[in-house]
Amino acid sequence: MLSSKIIGNGIVRAIAMLVIIALILYFLYQIQSVLIYLLVSLILTLIGNPILDFLKKRLKFNHTLATVVTLLFFVLIIAGFIMLFIPLVLSQGENLSLLNTAKIEQNSIQLLRQIETFLENHHIDSGKMMKEANITSKINFDFIPNFLNAVLGTISSFGMGLGSVLFITFFFLKDKKLFVTGAKTLIPDTHEDKILSSLEKINHLLSRYFIGLLLQLFIVFILYVIVLLIFGIPNALVIAFLCAVLNIIPYIGPLIASVLAGGLTMLSNLGSDFQTEILPQTIYILIGFWIVQIIDNNLSQPIIFSKSVSSHPLEIFLIILIAGFLFGILGMIVAVPLLTILKVIGKEFFPENKIVALLTKDI
């Protein structure tokens, strides 16, 4: 039988372990901003590695100069987006009166009344239902200014965050070999070759994945712009950009993007007749966005992602679906990179397993 002393020591060790874990989690929570900076820097590093290699191998730049030029490339892209979209976002905000809660409520009520009139003209008594439900009185429009205040607060800290991310990214790119050398000292000698080989393959595949993701978002952005310009929607670039960014969330993002585009289309045409102008234009925009999604889901996305991470399109679809059911939107976003990491590790450490061999045959 176990003595009371042994049991007491076990309980003390368990409590001490729980306290240590709690302190570590609390510490990570307190430095969450730093962790986000590190994550963003890592993604930029993965995207920048092919650019760095191109500058060194094709243009014969030395390592430091290639690193600086790669970083300047990122800075120019970010500056271009800021110069392009901030004036347009401000213009869109003025058009929609986003900073005026009363105006938002007035515009929304006006839109609801137009919809109610349209339905009554088609002998649908939804107007009575809407009045009984008293929808407008239940909607708290104050959340929009509060949301914008949060966005402005984020933008105010954007400068420090951007500087930190670029600084970290510079050293990730410049001292990549130094980090690898340091990692070697921490890796057990028996698994050093496999771990280093895994890290190299993961770096290569994830670099291709993030570049493929940017290419896919750019294609969707261009197609959205074309759709919006065809139907004369104001500030097409802003709406297309916001909707394209939402495509980072697989399957759900495009649905949200369609709803957003439809809502902005209606609000930007409040002075027009609902039946003859607002409704048809909104339907055309939604049809156009759905066509874009058909093109993206069946052509650009499967080709780009399957080529970039060497996985079958059906495999990618299933893993995103499973991750979505288990972990929600965040799971859907990280599903493909995590799948890639697990496949590389499986191929390096369990190459004889038949299932692993089947799933990793193209890596």
pLDDT at 224: 92
Kindly report the pTM of this predicted structure: 0.68
Helix 301-309 and helix 192-230, axial crossing angle in degrees, nearest 10? 170
pLDDT at 96: 46
| pLDDT tens, residue by residue, 209-255 | 888 888 888 889 999 999 989 888 877 887 888 888 888 887 788 88
Helix (H) or strand (E) holding 314: helix 313-349
Which of 26-30, 82-86, 105-109, 203-207 bottoms out in mean pLDDT, i.e. has the lowest?
105-109
Residue 55: is its pLDDT beyond 50?
yes
Q: Which residues of 50-79 are buried (b: 16+ CB within 10 A; e: fewer)?
A: ebbeebbeeeebeeeebbeebbeebeeeee
Domain ranges of the chain: 1-30, 33-175, 187-363
Residue 119: is its pLDDT beyond 80?
no
| pLDDT tens, residue by residue, 173-196 | 888 777 777 766 777 767 777 877
pLDDT at 192: 72
SS3 state at 104: helix
Q: Please report which residue ranges of the chain form alpha helices under DSSP H.
A: 4-30, 32-57, 63-96, 101-121, 126-133, 135-138, 143-156, 158-174, 176-186, 192-230, 236-246, 252-267, 279-295, 301-309, 313-349, 354-359
| pLDDT tens, residue by residue, 123-171 | 665 555 555 555 445 555 455 455 545 555 555 566 677 888 889 989 8
| pLDDT tens, residue by residue, 267-283 | 776 666 766 777 788 88
What is the DSSP annotation of 78-92?
Answer: HHHHHHHHHHHHHHH
